[in-house]
Amino acid sequence: MTIPTEAPAWTDIDPSLLTIERNPVKSALPEQMLFGANFSDHMLIIKHVAGKGWQAPVIKPYGPLELSPASAVFHYAPSLFEGMKAYKQEGKTPRLFRPDENMARMSRSADRVALPPFNQEAVISLIKTLVKEDEHLIPPPPYSLYIRPTMIGTRPALGVGASDECMLYVIMCPVGPFFPKGFKPVSLLATTDAVRSWPGGTGQYKLALNYAPCFRPQEKAKSLGYDQNLWCLGDQITECGQMNLFVSYEDDEGVTHLITPPLNGLILPGITRASLLALARSHQKGEITLPGLPEKSKFVIEEREFGLSDLRAWSEKDALREAFGAGTAAVVCSVERIGLPTGSESKAVKDIHIPIGPTGLGPIATGLHARVTAIQEGSLEGPPGSNWSWEC
């Protein structure tokens, strides 16, 4: 007789099933810690099998993946990633910065390209284990260990549709501070012919597919003497390079406005962006005091849409105080110059200049940067009630 069996249930990620295959080599820190070039000794891999769910997690030596050439990721780009950093003070436990936010965003990204859901806490727990496995490769602050959780669709068939097989993996690399020789302001070229994000598109998700279309426009900006693109949708400003943009200007009443585009579907919900906003608001409410930020009665923080025409108008009135990008890699990065279209037929560009101050980073960005990095490194707390820095 056959004992009737039920279809096996879909299984979520279970950290208790982790197996670790140790790398016999224990690397030393590389001499040059270029961003994303030297990888740590181990990686985490979790496979999702169609109809079954997530399989046992594996930590093993960093090395190549073996994939069918028909894998969905190559043909239809169901693929996404996160950027995180682990910080370690000498003799202390390594720390992650708001990993719950990364996992929540990763989960939204996965859903947008029809990849399976996953237990976010389980992945944080596994990342902590991975980080501790390679703790010897976390350089002391302001250096850190960059963590790249990645998810790719691996269904080996060409029919266009959701990839029910996939792989979640995490690789890591020791990285230097983004600006090893002090803050280096960047220049931006307002880019309206190539559009990064549009209504009904995917700009608010951290998908691989948002990046490749930006390579050529980035090369074009460089060839015209600008470091990065200021991404626009018509006149409307969305992001800069791979960062969220903040602008500060002074209005006619002498009030300083710190503004950034709202999460209107066009904007990547950056975790640095959210943290800077929360810190600035906490300062504005008088809960914390951040040196360099305006006195609270003269300070307004706004998430609101603004455009190239606004930048031009503020520049003409000499009202621009600061502009900076915010992201995981650089934390903050000041903008000193923006090439704006003159609107003429000639595609001519006219630069506006933005104060950067003697250090290369304006007072608001400096105050926010100091606090957020102190929280990341574990020496200060976030706004009251927050839980931003997690021990591994």
Q: Which residues bind its own copies (CB under 8 A)?
A: 34-37, 39, 43, 62, 64-70, 72-79, 81, 111-114, 146, 148, 150, 152-153, 157-162, 169, 171, 173, 192-195, 198-202, 207-209, 211-216, 218-219, 242
Find the shortest distance in angstroms from Cβ 86 to its own copies.
15
Instruction: Find, among 132, 96, 35, the residue nearest to 377 by Cα.
Output: 96
Spatial neighbors of 304 by CB under 8 A, at least 6 apart, are 259, 261, 262
Residue 41 and residue 147 in contact, taking contact as beta carbons nearer than 8 Å = no
* Closer Cβ to its own copies, 10 or 211, answer by number: 211
Closest to its own copies by CB, 187 vs 202, is 202
DSSP 8-state secondary structure symbol assigned to residue 207: B
Name the nearest CA neighbour of 253 among 309, 299, 302.
299
Start-to-end C-alpha separation, the chain: 51
Least distance between its own copies and beta carbon 262 (Å): 19
Cβ proximity to its own copies, 261 vs 367, nearer residue:
261
Closer Cβ to its own copies, 158 or 348, answer by number: 158
Minimum gap (Å) between residue 64 Cβ and its own copies: 5
Asked if residue 67 lies in contact with residue 363, where contact means CB atoms within 8 angstroms, the answer is no
Is the CB of 161 or the CB of 343 nearer to its own copies?
161
Specify whether the CB–CB gap between 276 and 326 falls below 8 A: yes
**Beta carbon of residue 60, minimum distance to its own copies (angstroms, whole number):** 11
Phi, psi of 338 (to 5 degrees): -130, 125
Minimum gap (Å) between residue 390 Cβ and its own copies: 23
| Shortest separation between residue 1's beta carbon and its own copies, angstroms | 32
Beta carbons of 248 and 259 less than 8 angstroms apart:
yes
Q: Is the peptide bond before 355 cis (omega within 30 degrees of 0)?
A: no
d(CA 108, CA 26): 35
Give the β-pairing of 186-191 and 331-341. Answer: parallel
Alpha-carbon distance 272 to 244, whole Å? 9
- Least separation, in Å, of the C-beta of 36 and its own copies? 3
In whole angstroms, the minimum distance from the beta carbon of 160 to its own copies comes to 6
Exposure of 38 by Cβ count < 10 A (0-12 exposed, 13-18 middle, 19+ buried)?
middle
Closest CB to its own copies among 327 and 383?
A: 327
Residue 242 or 272: which CB sits closer to its own copies?
A: 242
The answer to whether 375 and 141 have CB atoms below 8 angstroms apart is no
Place of tokens 């409307």: 236
* Cα 133–chain centre separation: 24
| Partners of 353 in the β-ladder | 337
Q: Is 298 helix (H, G, I), strand (E, B) or coil?
A: helix
Q: How far is the CB of 354 from its own copies (least distance, A)?
A: 23
Cβ closer to its own copies: 151 or 356? Answer: 151
Separation of alpha carbons 64 and 161, rounded Å: 26
Which of residues 194 and 313 has its CB atom nearest to its own copies in the complex?
194
Minimum CB separation of residue 35 from its own copies in Å reads: 6
C-beta of 227 vs 322, nearer to its own copies: 227
Q: What is d(CA 101, CA 88) in angstroms, rounded to the nearest whole number? A: 20
Residues making up the chain, counted from first to last: 392
